Amino acid sequence: MGLARQVDVTASAMASPDAAHHPAPSHKRRKSQIGLAFIAPFGALFALVFIVPILYAVYLSLFQDKLIGGNTFVGFANYGKLFQDPQFWDGVGRVFRFTLVQVPIMLIFAMALALALDSMRVHGTRFMRVTIFLPYAVPAIVATLMWGFLLGVKYGLFGSLNDAFGTDLDPFAPGTTLISIGVMVTWAFTGFNMLIFYAALKAVPRELYEAAAIDGANELQIVRAIKLPALRGSLVVTIIFSIIGTFQMFNEPQILPSMVANSGVTTFYTPNLYAYNLAFTGSQQGYAAALALVMAAITITVAYVVQIRGLRNAPDQ
């Protein structure tokens, strides 16, 4: 009997060491309080730098601050005006077109590079990985300046090529500027996306490849049947990142006009640039806030649709 009691006590102590000393309800409450304390610093900062600015933007978007006459409540007038503003839709259309062309090209590059590194047939994998990733570490402003010189027709690489071949190509003519920006962005972000794909490939159990090889599959079949499906989750993530990044495009069109004449970059070239110019040269903070919120809604919608569609019927999600 004595032994049995002893065992009993040990068992209950093992099952839940705290339960023996505290009644269940207060224990639960305390646990959740500790949790709250842990997330409090995050919560405070999150509210300060994320929630508060959004609420402030919502507030601002309901007002119009005139140079003469001051600040007046205008309700949803800023939103109404925005939907009829051809300059806003011009910028939205541009980032959509840019996304449709640039994002697939960049992600195919990134995927091809990740597969090449993962195939273990490339020498100096670590060196390659760092080299391809490096452009991501270059600040966008520096990258734009660099590409500006490289693509410049006057003294840049394209100028020399034009001289050598007697051509008249201008990467920063109004019709081609967007393509040139696409080249810059692809250069900057391919490495970042490649790392995400590469990490996903590394997570695939090697035994799968062995099993496939034993079954007689060649490299191409392994890629098709194992590796590409394994990349599906990462692909959705990278697409969403890229869409968000593109919709926020700002640095490149902001800097280009100071380097190249008449590249076709207007003050409303992208929605973000337009919002900036509205707020800081036009003193139209309310209108700019409305634009920012509408753009956020569009971005969230697009990203969400991509996520739902991308993960539908996904084997492992």
Partner 1 sequence: MRLSQKARLLSAVLVPMFALTACSGGSGGGSATGSGGDQQVKLTVWSWDGTVAGAVPGFQAANPNIKVEVVNAGSSQDEYKALDNAIQAGSGVPDVVMFEYFAVPYFAIPGKLADLGKYGVENFKKDYVPGAWSDVTVNGKVYALPSDYGPSALFYNTATLKKAGIDKAPATWDEYYEAAKKVRALGGDHYIAQDTGDIFFLLSLIWQAGGRPFKVNGNKVHIDFTDEGTTRAVAFWQKMLDEGLINTKITGWSDDWNRTLNDGTLATQTMGGWLTSTLPERAPKAAGDFRVALMPQWKQGDKVGAANGGSSFGIPAAAEHQDAAFKFLEYFTHGGGLSSRVDAGAFVPNTSVLDSEAFQSKANRYFGEQKVGAVLAEASEIVGSGWQYPPFFEWARSVYGDLASPFYTTGKGSLAEILEQWKQRCIQYGNEQGFEVD
Contact residues toward partner 1 (CB under 8 A) are 41, 44-45, 66-69, 149, 152-155, 173-174, 257-262, 264, 266-268, 277, 280-283
Query: Of the two residues 15 and 67, which places its CB atom closer to partner 1 in the complex?
Result: 67
Query: Of the two residues 87 and 119, which places its CB atom closer to partner 1 in the complex?
Result: 87
Six-digit token pair at 284? 């139209």
Six-digit token pair at 189? 């972000």
Alpha helices for 152-269 (secondary structure H)? 157-165, 177-202, 206-214, 219-222, 228-230, 232-247, 251-259
Distance in Å, CB of 134 to partner 1, minimum: 24
Q: What is the distance between the alpha carbons of residues 119 and 217, in angstroms, rounded to a whole number?
A: 15
Assign 3-class secondary structure to 38-71.
HHHHHHHHHHHHHHHHHHHHHHHCCEEEECCCEE
Distance in Å, CB of 41 to partner 1, minimum: 6
Query: Of the two residues 260 and 295, which places its CB atom closer to partner 1 in the complex?
Result: 260
Task: Please give the C-alpha separations between residue 297 and each of 290, 300, 301, in angstroms, as whole numbers.
Answer: 11, 5, 6
Distance in Å, CB of 270 to partner 1, minimum: 14
Query: Of the two residues 110 and 184, which places its CB atom closer to partner 1 in the complex?
Result: 184
Distance in Å, CB of 58 to partner 1, minimum: 19
Query: Of the two residues 152 and 182, which places its CB atom closer to partner 1 in the complex?
Result: 152
Query: Of the two residues 24 and 39, which places its CB atom closer to partner 1 in the complex?
Result: 39
Distance in Å, CB of 177 to partner 1, minimum: 10
Q: Is 95 exposed, middle or buried (0-12, 13-18, 19+ CB in 10 A)?
A: buried
Six-digit token pair at 18? 């705290």
Place of tokens 């449709």: 100
Strand 63-66, strand 70-73: pairing: antiparallel
Distance in Å, CB of 157 to partner 1, minimum: 14
Query: Of the two residues 3 and 67, which places its CB atom closer to partner 1 in the complex?
Result: 67
Q: What is the distance between the alpha carbons of residues 218 and 34, in angstroms, rounded to a whole number?
A: 54
Q: What are phi and psi of 18, to 5 degrees?
A: -80, -30
Q: What is the distance between the alpha carbons of residues 201 and 114, in angstroms, rounded to a whole number?
A: 8
Distance in Å, CB of 93 to partner 1, minimum: 16
Distance in Å, CB of 102 to partner 1, minimum: 23
- Residues whose CB is less than 8 angstroms from the CB of residue 111 and which lie 6 or more positions away in sequence, other chains included: 194, 197, 231, 235
Query: Of the two residues 163 and 210, which places its CB atom closer to partner 1 in the complex?
Result: 163
- Residues whose CB is less than 8 angstroms from the CB of residue 124 and which lie 6 or more positions away in sequence, other chains included: none
Amino acid occupying residue 37: A
